[in-house]
Structure 1
Amino acid sequence: MNRIRNRTQRPARAGSVLLLVGILLLAANLRAPITSLGPLIGDVRADMSLSNGAAGFLTTLALLFFGLLSPIAPRLARKFGMETTLLASLLLITAGILLRTFSHVSALFAGTALIGMGIALGNVLVPALIKRDFAARLGPMTGLYSVSMNLWAAVASGLSIPLAESAGWGWRGSLGCWALLSAMATIVWLPQLRARGTAFPAGRHKTAASGIWRSKLAWQISLFMGLQSLLFYINVSWLPEILQSRGISGSTSGWLLSLMQFVSLPATFLIPILASRYRRQDVFAGAIALLLFIGYGGLWLAGDRVWLASVWVVLLGIAAGAAFSLSVLFFSLRTNQAQESAELSGMAQSVGYLLASVGPIALGLLHDSVGNWTVPLAVLVALSVCLFGFGLASGRDRKVRPAGVGSVAEQTGM
């Protein structure tokens, strides 16, 4: 009897392991094609004769597609299936990576647009897939997904210049090599097409899609997601400049930016596991906002002491990793089914990445207008207070439901 049971259970376990590997590889491709570009932007600008504004728009273009395409992703999953839509996500990313290595400027921007489209689909649908297929292990799976995404983002950022210069591949080869990672993920993902079925359990699909945008709780989660995204991309864009304005050297400030990304990884993994054990997550959200408040406040008052700046950067990194994975966890904890999770994910990431796309530009313009980083840092301290408010609201034990059928807790604000 045990042998029969083992035979019947092996395929299910093997399928789950293959799905897990597929999710981790898919997650690895949701940031690396973007973060690999940043360190090479000077070489790209010089080789393609781009202005500073045009070069900076490359990252903004990807974020805009994140925001604009996110609400459409659940509809595509309903029509074509979750697995097929995620395969299309990987194919778009691979095509975009290869296209932007061509010699024409239009190919560079078109490739970036394709990458943005592909990542937008993956951003929205992977959390919903975890909600659907790993409902009993939401915390660990969300942590693994988030760590894979952020780990490869940091690796891609760190390897870009060595691959371009030390390996002699140039900026095109350095950017193009990430097509190997996306192609590998595509191959591993292909078996999932055989298991595809209904993207979401039968339910109130149309009602959920229309009602999610009228939910107060959905907006609170979306703004929590949006503010943490905005702060992350501001950190990536301007932290070295802020540190240099405090008297820290350029090479050291670059190292501190890498430190910020790597120290975020443990928190990225652990926070979903810990937070999913409780009915409320407002304490976790409050702690994250407090770390951001202290970190930005420390930079505001900091001098040129590297060890002290490292403390503030570490606090910002821990908070950034925890905030991202907690916001992703909310997509599952605050919904009843995978369909609602996908709709909430699409809404929150649309709001989040549209905010993130204007954040670095707005802070740069503010710096130019006042001539220092003191006022922009004060704004970042204020934004951490706003994150605190939206985090407390998002962390309460409630569910997002379509308008008209919401829970008493959501309707009354209890």
Structure 2
Amino acid sequence: MSIAEQHRNAPGAAPHDLSDDLLIDAEIDDLPAPTRLKAGLLLVVSLVLIAINLRPALSSLGPVLKEIIADTGLSAGGASLLTTVPVVCLGLFGMLAPRIARRLGTERAVLALLLVLALGTALRGLGTPAALLVGAILAGAGIGVTNVLLPGIVKRDFPDKAALMTGVYTMALCAGAAVAAGATLPIARAAGGSWAVALAFWTIPAVIAAAVWLTQIPPRQGQAGHAGVTVRGLWTDPLAWQVTLFMGLQSSLAYSVFGWLAPILRDRGVEGVAAGIMVSVSIMVQVAAALVAPSLATRGRDQRLAALLCMVFSVAGFWGCIFAPLGTVWLWVVVLGIGQGAAFAVALTLVVLRSRDAHVAAHLSSMSQGVGYTLASGGPLLIGLLHDWTGGWTAPGLLVLGIGLVAGAAGIGAGRARQVAAIVTPR
């Protein structure tokens, strides 16, 4: 039994709040038994610093992508590979997170992967296509594993403040993405036009986060055994796949924004720094939407309308940025942020609501993240390829519409008030 479950089942414990389960992440029941440190201010600061570093490697590339293409001779297809590889790694390495945590210990695994993230970010400072690609792989691996482990640590060490820490974690993650999107091009110009220096700059906060996290590393102990469970049936359940598709396809649009919204706006005539600021504002709007969406989505009998509206706002915002008059772009940037922030929060909420207990939710989360993030990588890649083939943004806009339609259909299915058919048995 996890610490959170003990807390809920203890005599006199407060009634279980469903929002606590939002922090269940990939196979948390498979993580090593914790050596728990005091959940004090330093731990909160450490977690916030880590969350801040989980998106800059992704959101900093788009604002300087035009300079990278011009200086290195990369095609749009080759550039799209740089935006795609880290997202692929989120899914592939995220599925390895429980295994890595069992081998190293959760805290040491986070430290090791923070250093991998810092190394990958620093490699981009070499400025060659090969260094950019290897750096993208390392950064994606570091983010993918840490992405999975960090919510488990939060749930373990803050069992009675999970909802609050969910908000703090989400805000820090979005803030890191927004700052990197808005500041990378100004940093490049301050460095004499060196986009390589600007990309490598984001190594600094990653190293700071690793240094602070060192204070949370517990003494080495023999691994404590713990009872686990096996969850069967998810991979053949249609509802589980609908949840996974909604998670993956809404993520596909989100990472397409990270990689391509700034180049789209710049091609339309928006000045480079202004384009980065627009992406930054769109990401910051996601924070408010993500905090409000779960409570609104759970007020009705089901979440079908909420999932559909999320995709309507997301596609409308993206299309507005591509096709609407340039004078209205700020409006569409905000609409896009509302849709994407709400979609991410609703996707997490569906994982919980479609599961009958914490074990099923943990495994459904693992499935939806592992498969979903791998699926999400196709969005940035295809947008780059379509732009390369056609020389414009109309075809990528049609792709965005197609992704939105399929995601909306998956959301309608996943939003039904049902639960996945899964069998939980002790190991």
Q: Distance in 1 between matches of 2:392 and 2:68?
A: 28
Q: Distance in 1 between matches of 2:128 and 2:387?
A: 33
1:4 aligns with: none
1:324 aligns to 2:344 (yes or no): yes
RMSD: 3.7
Does the 8 Å contact 1:264/1:317 carry over to 2?
yes
Does the 8 Å contact 1:140/1:273 carry over to 2?
no
Aligned residue type for 2:325: D
Moved more, 343-352 or 22-31: 343-352
TM-score for the superposition, normalised by structure 2? 0.76
List runs of 5+ in structure 1 lacking aligned partners.
1-11, 406-414
Q: Distance in 2 between matches of 1:30 and 1:241?
A: 22
Residues 84-107 of structure 1: CA distance to partner in whole angstroms, max 9, x if unpaired? 222222121112122332366543
Number of residue pairs matched? 388
List runs of 5+ in structure 2 lacking aligned partners.
1-35
Aligned residue type for 1:202: A
1:292 aligns to 2:314 (yes or no): yes
Map 1:11-410 to 2 at 5 A.
15-48=39-72, 50-102=74-126, 105-168=129-192, 170-194=194-218, 202-204=227-229, 207-208=230-231, 211-239=233-261, 249=270, 255-272=277-294, 281-295=303-317, 303-304=324-325, 306-307=327-328, 309-332=329-352, 334-335=354-355, 341-366=361-386, 373-374=393-394, 376-396=396-416, 402-403=422-423
Q: Distance in 1 between matches of 2:101 and 2:94?
A: 12
**For residues 196 and 351 of structure 1, do their structure 2 counterparts lie closer, same or farther at Cα, with a shift above 3 Å needed?**
farther
Aligned residue type for 2:257: N
Q: Distance in 2 between matches of 1:356 and 1:384?
A: 12
**For residues 363 and 350 of structure 1, do their structure 2 counterparts lie closer, same or farther at Cα, with a shift above 3 Å needed?**
same
Percent sequence identity is 39
* 1:319 Cα offset (Å): 0.8
Q: Distance in 1 between matches of 2:72 and 2:394?
A: 35
* 1:325 Cα offset (Å): 2.9
Q: Distance in 2 between matches of 1:326 and 1:113?
A: 29
Aligned residue type for 2:338: I
TM-score for the superposition, normalised by structure 1? 0.78
Q: Distance in 2 between matches of 1:214 and 1:327?
A: 20
**For residues 249 and 86 of structure 1, do their structure 2 counterparts lie closer, same or farther at Cα, with a shift above 3 Å needed?**
closer
* 1:108 Cα offset (Å): 3.3
Q: Distance in 1 between matches of 2:225 and 2:339?
A: 33
Does the 8 Å contact 1:367/1:375 carry over to 2?
yes
Aligned residue type for 1:129: I
Aligned residue type for 1:306: G
Aligned residue type for 1:37: L
Moved more, 192-201 or 379-388: 192-201
Does the 8 Å contact 1:63/1:116 carry over to 2?
yes
* 1:294 Cα offset (Å): 4.2
Residues 156-210 of structure 1: CA distance to partner in whole angstroms, max 9, x if unpaired? 1211122122244833332222222112211222233318987996321xx23x6
